[in-house]
Structure 1
Amino acid sequence: MKLDAHQHFWEYNVVEYGWIGEEMKTIRQSFLPEDLEPLLVQSGLDGCIAVQARQSLTETEWLLQLADRHECIKGVVGWVDLCSDEVRNQLELFASNPYLKGVRHVIQDEPDLKYVLREDFQRGISLLKEYGLAYDLLVSKEQLPYAVELVKTFPEQRFVLDHLAKPDIKSGILSPWKEALESLAAQPNAYCKLSGMVTEADWVNWTPKDFTAYLNIAIEAFGAERLMFGSDWPVSNVSATYSEVYGLIMSHINTLPISDQQMILGGTCAAFYQIS
């Protein structure tokens, strides 16, 4: 099974998607499964993981409804309020749904760099294994060292890093992101998505070589068995087409053993999110 491990759906409105600024106006519209399906087919992919874009229980419910209606959606990464006293009730509400594979919070927007070390947040994280759920780490490169501490604290919890923690690809800067990424990769319960890179590069003038060092570092640190391709569509549309994003990964990994390519293009995703 070949899978896109990271993409989003939304019905656009300016209130709930205020983060889509003027410079991103090309994605100020709705993006739904019927828009993604032909792109998956074109790239030879069998399905996708739909990841939350709104921080609400309504978002989780809506994505699960989409998954029930569209065969291409193999799993959902939703949202619950991990810091709430009601988090167990919220998990009970959704966890019996077979499409719910994990949860995520937009930590990168939290002003507290140490947000993942909060006692209430970690109390919520501690419940996820009980429900068989993974956790997607959406953190900035500045927050990444604290994410490493989180992952160490919960060695039996499955974590996956979204977008390589958003390194400064446009400027070509590697350190201290590289060292923090390698520290995360040293934890066997940590995985990484090869996603979100084109929006960290020069949106107009990027070239494939801009990503070479970052991809090499991730592959060396995690190995194919803990890496997965993700498009970050439709956010990626501000900088590249779906086929261009997929092509970047394909062209970079085409010298790896076929077994490694298969893991990055779906095997790792299926194992991590427990998709059969």
Structure 2
Amino acid sequence: MKIDAHQHYWDPARGDYGWLKPEMQALYRVFGPGDLKPLREAVNVERTVVVQAAPTVDETRYLLDLARAEESIAGVVGWVPLDAPGAPDLIDELAREPKFKGVRPMLQDLADDRWIETASIEPAIRKLIERDLAFDALIFARHIPSLVTFATRYPELRIVIDHGAKPPIRDGDAGRQPWADGIEQLAALPQKLSCKLSGLVTEAAPQCDEKILKPYVEHLLKHFGAQRLMWGSDWPVLNLNGDYAGWHDAARTLCAHHPDLKKTDEDAIFGANARTFYRL
């Protein structure tokens, strides 16, 4: 089964997407399962993991409501105020939903780049571990040192790095460091973090092609390997600089032409790894 490990649904009228502005014409409208259905069916994607896009519990409940009625949603990664006193109880409550699979604290948007290593979140993280829930790390390269500290502190926590830690592809070779070294460091951690092959097109200049993406995909493959990478569309954010079929086909081509990958490796990246990691 082919699985999209990272996409979003939203309704701007809900009012809690602080980053989503009316001037973002490609994104500022309702995106729901009916919009994605023809796109995923065209490339034979059967199931998806829907990821939060607003730092509110209300949005997480909205996504879980969608998931109850939509078979194609295999799992939901929601948002929880991890540093709140009631976070463990809230995690317990959300975990009763069969499709609730993990949390994402939107680290890239926080004022403190070191929040993940300094915040008082121990009870919430221990509850995630107890409930066997995943942790999505939405980061840039500048967050990697703190994520390493955090991951080392909680070796039992299942962590996946969203969007390959957002390499600054539009900057060309000049932007590859410290991202490249950071990826190597994260991949080498003993608990074997996972990583999403997603979001790369959005980090590139307009009209990027497979040639531009290739060194970044190869770097992720080199260090995480085919068994710890999972493909995601990042739709509809993807619409800012690409389209669903285009990114899917580019990723498939880059994996298919990689000399060290077999068909079983491609199947892992495009479905099996997400199923295993998120307990789908």
Name the amino acid aligned to 2:278: Y
Deviation at residue 133 of structure 1 after TM alignment? 0.3
Check if 1:103 corresponds to 2:103. Answer: yes
* Aligned partner of 1:247 among 239, 246, 249: 249
CA–CA separation in structure 2 for the residues paired with 1:248 and 1:115: 35
Check if 1:198 corresponds to 2:201. Answer: yes
CA–CA separation in structure 2 for the residues paired with 1:13 and 1:25: 14
Name the amino acid aligned to 2:20: I
Deviation at residue 118 of structure 1 after TM alignment? 1.8
CA–CA separation in structure 1 for the residues paired with 2:85 and 2:196: 30
CA–CA separation in structure 2 for the residues paired with 1:56 and 1:112: 19
Q: For residues 241 and 119 of structure 1, do their structure 2 counterparts lie closer, same or farther at Cα, with a shift above 3 Å needed?
A: closer
Name the amino acid aligned to 2:112: D
CA–CA separation in structure 1 for the residues paired with 2:60 and 2:207: 36
Deviation at residue 164 of structure 1 after TM alignment? 1.1
CA–CA separation in structure 1 for the residues paired with 2:278 and 2:218: 24
Is the partner of 1:59 in helix, strand or coil?
helix
1:214-225 paired onto structure 2 within 5 Å: 214-225=216-227
The farther-off stretch of 98-107 and 120-129 is 120-129
Number of aligned pairs?
274
CA–CA separation in structure 2 for the residues paired with 1:218 and 1:149: 21
Q: For residues 189 and 156 of structure 1, do their structure 2 counterparts lie closer, same or farther at Cα, with a shift above 3 Å needed?
A: farther
How big is each residue's C-alpha offset from its partner over 1:84-108, in whole Å with a ceiling of 9 and x where there is no partner?
0000111121111110111111110
CA–CA separation in structure 2 for the residues paired with 1:183 and 1:123: 27
Structure-1 residue corresponding to 2:139:
139
The farther-off stretch of 126-135 and 222-231 is 126-135
Deviation at residue 249 of structure 1 after TM alignment? 0.6
Structure-1 residue corresponding to 2:165:
165
CA–CA separation in structure 2 for the residues paired with 1:146 and 1:111: 14
Deviation at residue 32 of structure 1 after TM alignment? 0.3
Structure-2 residue corresponding to 1:266:
271
Deviation at residue 169 of structure 1 after TM alignment? 0.3
Name the amino acid aligned to 2:77: V
Q: CA RMSD in A?
A: 1.4
What are structure 1's unaligned runs of at least 5 residues? none
Superposition misfits of 4+ residues, deviation over 6 angstroms: none
Q: State the TM-score, normalizing by the size of structure 2.
A: 0.94
Do the aligned partners of 1:105 and 1:138 also contact (CA within 8 Å) in 2? yes
Name the amino acid aligned to 1:40: R
Structure-2 residue corresponding to 1:61:
61
Structure-1 residue corresponding to 2:182:
180
Deviation at residue 184 of structure 1 after TM alignment? 0.6
% same residue: 38
Do the aligned partners of 2:16 and 2:55 also contact (CA within 8 Å) in 1? no
CA–CA separation in structure 1 for the residues paired with 2:145 and 2:252: 29
Name the amino acid aligned to 1:239: N
Is the partner of 1:48 in helix, strand or coil?
strand
Q: For residues 21 and 12 of structure 1, do their structure 2 counterparts lie closer, same or farther at Cα, with a shift above 3 Å needed?
A: closer
Do the aligned partners of 1:157 and 1:189 also contact (CA within 8 Å) in 2? no
Structure-2 residue corresponding to 1:39:
39
Do the aligned partners of 1:228 and 1:263 also contact (CA within 8 Å) in 2? yes
Name the amino acid aligned to 2:192: N
Deviation at residue 5 of structure 1 after TM alignment? 0.2
1:85-96 paired onto structure 2 within 5 Å: 85-96=85-96
Q: State the TM-score, normalizing by the size of structure 1.
A: 0.95
Structure-2 residue corresponding to 1:114:
114
